[in-house]
């Protein structure tokens, strides 16, 4: 009986901890202005490069708007790194 309560408590603590970790795992969304994209192929290549980057959870790139909306894990990436990735595609991040 006691061990059953113990295991229930352990499970409860585990679930709580997992919930907290999930809540604090910072997913950030940033909008980065990108210049030079002319068509859907341009935005597709930026999207591909971003999505291939470790820590990027989602990337929506629009050549019409000239921007990339990137959802990323704050613990693995930062905005500077994302700018580097975009610059690496040949398109330029607008400062």
Distance CA 8, CA 31 (A): 44
Is the four-CA dihedral 77, 79, 81, 85 of positive or negative sign? positive
Contact with Cu ion (CB under 5 A) among 10, 14, 16, 38: 38
Q: How far is the CB of 89 from Cu ion (least distance, A)?
A: 11
Residue 7: CB minimum distance to Cu ion, A: 58
How far apart are alpha carbons 25 and 32 in whole angstroms? 22
Number of residues that bind Cu ion (CB under 5 A): 4
**Which residues form the interface with Cu ion (CB under 5 A)?**
38-39, 41-42
């Amino acid at each position: 009986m006691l061990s059953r309560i113990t295991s229930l408590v352990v499970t409860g603590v585990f679930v709580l901890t997992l919930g907290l970790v999930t809540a604090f795992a910072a997913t950030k969304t940033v909008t980065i202005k990108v210049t030079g994209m002319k068509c859907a192929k341009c935005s597709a290549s930026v999207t591909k490069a971003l999505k291939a980057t470790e820590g990027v959870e989602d990337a929506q790139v629009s050549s019409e708007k000239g921007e990339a909306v990137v959802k990323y894990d704050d613990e693995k990436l930062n905005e500077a790194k994302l700018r580097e990735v975009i610059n690496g595609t040949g398109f330029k991040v607008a400062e």
